[in-house]
Structure 1
Amino acid sequence: MSEDVRPEEHHDHVHGHTHPTGLKGWLHEDFVPHSHDVTDSIDDALEASNEGVRAVKVSLVVLGITAAAQLGIVAISGSVALLADTIHNFSDALTAVPLWIAFVLGRRAATTRYTHGYGRAEDLAGLFIVAMIALSAVVAGVESIRRLADPQPLDNLGWVMAAGVVGFAGNEAVAVYRMRVGRRIGSAALVADGVHARTDGFTSLAVVLGVVGVWAGFPIADPLVGLLITAAILILLWGTARDVGRRLLDGIDPDLTHRARRALESEPGIVGVEDVRLRWTGHRLAVQARLLLPAGTTVAGADRTAAAAEHAVRRALPAVGTVDLTVTAAANAPITGR
């Protein structure tokens, strides 16, 4: 079955699992975010890729402005430590470039070598982002332990706090934006990049809380908050690595499989559905299934039933790319040519 783009259709945001509510739900969403296989997704593949690229561009601009503001504070305060943190934030912003390249690659048509296209480049970019989050956790942890073992006085506390507030605000805004777009287009890698921005924001927040602790007469608060932030980054890392790893292993939300099966079984003329398989390739969902038709079904009738079944799947699921349906007569009876 060929890909049939239907951008005018909308899908219900339905999950096969539940989330905590209230304060616990807020903490769960902030500290264990996930990509949500079932999304209110954009159906058109090119439009989804374009929105992903747009999200990367906008976030790079916002992070660039954030870094420039921090650089201005560095120039005023003369703090070498702030300069190092600003350079770190700027370099972390550039991790979005591989994702940008992956979105552009994903637009390319399949070839005789890459017969499924280049959508997997997006998942590889997600793996790179997971590695960067892990590196952020290591750097934050080592720096916190070093400051516990060898406490260093904080200078220019007002400027340090200002830089931390700017860094946290800029990174958190980018994190929310990236994750929202990533969930809408079905991109686990873009969600992971949003988590990466959030980890950088947490690092800046640690600076702010550390300054508050020093002002309150607890100089050890700075490294202790750093260790707390390290733990938060590790929790974020777990959820992100889980989602990206599932994509690489062709893991799928079971609810999507159930919805695909129900959509196929509800079509008139189908007496059974077997071997239902779904997989994500980047932010597009590929569907395979074998349809059992009544004995004596004609070839023309089988084609009509398969076409109707494909449309049913596209209505039931988000971000559907290719749909590959094979038809077989029930009890191995032949499908006639009449």
Structure 2
Amino acid sequence: MRNNVVDENKRYKIASRITWITIILNLVLAIGKIIIGFISNSSAILADGIHTVSDIGSSVGIVIGFFIAKKPEDEEHQYGHEKAETIAAFLLSLMLIAVGVKMGISSLKLMLCQTVKVPTVIAIWAAAISIVIKEFQFRMVMNVGKKIDSKALIADAWHHRSDALSSIAALLGVVGARMGYPLLDPLAGLVVSIIVVKVGVEFFIHGYNELMDVSIEESKLYEISRNLMKNTDIRNINDIKARKHGSKVYVDIKVCVDPNITVYMGHSIAEKVEEEVKRSLKNVKDVMVHVNPCSNHEEMNCLTCKNKTSKYVNKENKG
């Protein structure tokens, strides 16, 4: 248990360090794009700068989420604090949606109600530099996210990629405006706002599902069941459920065993089931194993047992 705590602290430390690097880069980038957006008359670059500000907000939220999530269980939070990551992402998704909608409304007003100004050439340089930096951030954060298996960092990496795409849209808008199509600049701002809203909705759905204890993928439940039937002394799996808890997973499983074994042997089998589940699936925080007797008594005959078999078990393997 001690080693697991050390590993988790190291994991959160790595995640926080890479996130702070992106925060500093984004702060410089956001200030630069917003200033250039104003002085160059480019609504697309201005919208892109606001998008980068949202990146800073999401990254700060992730740092806070990691800080809270690494806290151990206490009397008030007996299942730990891992959901802090999910809550932070959920709240930030609402912010992203609001920012994106506001940006879109501003771009539409500019297109319909005002005279559109042609951006200056500095806006082109701002967009080009932004594309390079955001793509670098995407690759850097994605690499670390996969290395430490952090869904929050991987989502943040795609946020950086969406910002790179919005910078491409801004670049196209600025170039088009300077080539004689001034409406392309606010149109690009509208495209950027749609990208921001899309990312916000995706984060919202992901956060909502995790807060509602969404299950892990069915393929993983099939794999766990197959390994249990193959590598343990259980006779059947009556039920298996799993729910995400931030970066962790809880697994609840009901198995049936030979009814003539001792309580000690049943307990040993349950321990092996727990070990096998943790071997089959990463980031398992806890496994709850309920052991049922498998017998030929009328109240629980073989047919009844098979009828209660989990859908993730191939009934031909064991019965």
Amino acid at match of 2:232: P
Aligned position for 2:247:
283
Structure 1 residues 180 and 131: alpha-carbon distance in aligned structure 2, compared to 1, 3 A threshold: farther
Task: Give the conservation status (yes or no) of the 8 Å contact 2:137–2:157.
Answer: yes
Aligned position for 1:39:
none
Give the counterpart of 1:222 among 185, 203, 209: 185
Q: TM-score, normalised by structure 1?
A: 0.74
Amino acid at match of 1:173: F
Aligned position for 1:121:
84
Identical amino acids, percent of aligned pairs: 24
Structure 1 residues 164-173 or 247-256, which shifts more? 164-173
Aligned position for 2:230:
266
CA deviation after TM superposition for structure 1 residue 182, in Å: 3.9
CA deviation after TM superposition for structure 1 residue 180, in Å: 4.6
Name which one, 1 or 2, has greater alpha-carbon Rg. 2
Task: Give the conservation status (yes or no) of the 8 Å contact 1:126–1:190.
Answer: no
Task: Give the conservation status (yes or no) of the 8 Å contact 1:126–1:192.
Answer: no
Structure 1 residues 144-153 or 187-196, which shifts more? 187-196
Structure 1 residues 177 and 166: alpha-carbon distance in aligned structure 2, compared to 1, 3 A threshold: same
Aligned position for 2:94:
131
Secondary structure of 2:78's counterpart equals: coil
After TM superposition, list the pairs within 5 Å mapping 1:1-338 onto structure 2. Answer: 44-67=7-30, 70=33, 74=36, 79=40, 86=49, 89-90=52-53, 92-149=55-112, 150-155=114-119, 157-252=120-215, 253-331=217-295
CA RMSD of aligned residues (A): 3.2
- CA deviation digits over 1:184-221, x for unaligned, max 9? 54544333333433443344333211111023221111
Amino acid at match of 2:286: T
Amino acid at match of 1:94: G
More helix by share: 2
Q: What is the number of equivalent residue pairs in this alignment?
A: 293
- CA deviation digits over 1:58-110, x for unaligned, max 9? 22233244346658x849x9558678965763464133222111111111111
Instruction: Write the distance in 2 (CA, Å) between the matches of 1:236 and 1:88.
Output: 11
Amino acid at match of 2:24: V
Instruction: Write the distance in 1 (CA, Å) between the matches of 2:12 and 2:140.
Output: 16
Structure 1 residues 173 and 321: alpha-carbon distance in aligned structure 2, compared to 1, 3 A threshold: same
Task: Give the conservation status (yes or no) of the 8 Å contact 2:29–2:49.
Answer: no
- CA deviation digits over 1:25-64, x for unaligned, max 9? xxxxxxxxxxxxxxxxxx9433432332233122223324
Secondary structure of 1:209's counterpart equals: helix
Amino acid at match of 1:270: I
Instruction: Write the distance in 2 (CA, Å) between the matches of 1:233 and 1:222.
Output: 17
Instruction: Write the distance in 2 (CA, Å) between the matches of 1:319 and 1:54.
Output: 21
- CA deviation digits over 1:160-190, x for unaligned, max 9? 1111222233233333443454455454433
Secondary structure of 2:74's counterpart equals: coil
Structure 1 moving runs of 4+ over 6 Å: 3-7, 80-85
Amino acid at match of 2:15: G
Structure 1 residues 109 and 188: alpha-carbon distance in aligned structure 2, compared to 1, 3 A threshold: same
Q: TM-score, normalised by structure 2?
A: 0.78
Amino acid at match of 2:99: S
Amino acid at match of 1:220: L
Secondary structure of 1:208's counterpart equals: helix
Higher relative contact order (CA 8 A, sep 6+): 1
Q: Structure 2: state its 5+ residue gaps.
A: 298-319
- CA deviation digits over 1:241-267, x for unaligned, max 9? 332222111112222222222222223
CA deviation after TM superposition for structure 1 residue 115, in Å: 0.8
Secondary structure of 1:94's counterpart equals: helix
CA deviation after TM superposition for structure 1 residue 121, in Å: 0.7
CA deviation after TM superposition for structure 1 residue 291, in Å: 2.0
